[in-house]
Amino acid sequence: MGTAATFESALLFLGILYPASDPAPAEEAWSRLSAVWGPEGFRSPEIPFTWSPYYDGEMGAPILRSLRCFREPVDPAGLAEAKILTNEVETALAREGRRRVNLDPGLLFPSRLILATTKDRAHRIPLRDGIFAELTLLYEKGGWKPLPWTYPDYRTPEYAEALTRMREILRAGRKREA
């Protein structure tokens, strides 16, 4: 029989989508969330989001994404709460019922990346309150490996580079703790 234990900590990160014409809501969202989870550990360059027109009508094209993580690792059991809070921030910053920022939280471990979502699919695990977890990428043999359902943007070299930098931050932090 296995013994219940605490989880290994992970880096909480956000994929932040926002219109290129108005980055202010993304910065306001980051400010609000930093008040909860602490200072920034890493911020990727802005990456054009060209994979889907899904957000264009609501936010206006062109859309950019920034991948950012918080400096301090978190208990991964809080992923559902992170998604609930980011949804609340999106709603608070919306205008006339239209989001001006989209916040996609996830957890980065040395061996994997997990995203939180409200969309149920066969490969997603229910957490609580309508929030699901999706194993999105594996880290094997020195690189990020996509799964059949991995979003196309998370398969790109730009994302891999940013996620690898975050992984290095997490591993360095764990070495300091040991």
- Model confidence over 19-52: pLDDT tens digits? 999 999 999 999 999 999 999 999 999 999 998 8
Domain extent listing, the chain: 11-177
Neighbours of 18 (CB within 10 A): 27
Kindly state the average pLDDT of the residues 75-80: 97
* The pLDDT value given to residue 1: 87
- With H, G, I as helix, E, B as strand and everything else as coil, classify residue 77: helix
Q: How confident is the model at residue 177 (pLDDT cuts 50, 70, 90)?
A: low
Q: What's the mean pLDDT when you consider all of the chain?
A: 94
pLDDT > 70? residue 178: no
Burial annotation 94-122 (CB, 10 A radius, 16+ → b, else e): eeeeebbbbbbbbbbbeebbbbbbeeeee
* The pLDDT value given to residue 176: 66
Tell how far CA 139 is from the center of its chain.
Answer: 16
Q: What percent of the chain has pLDDT over 70?
A: 97
Full-model pTM: 0.93
- Model confidence over 135-165: pLDDT tens digits? 999 999 999 999 999 999 999 999 999 999 9
Sign of the alpha-carbon torsion through 22, 26, 29, 30: negative
Kindly state the average pLDDT of the residues 113-123: 96
* The pLDDT value given to residue 172: 84
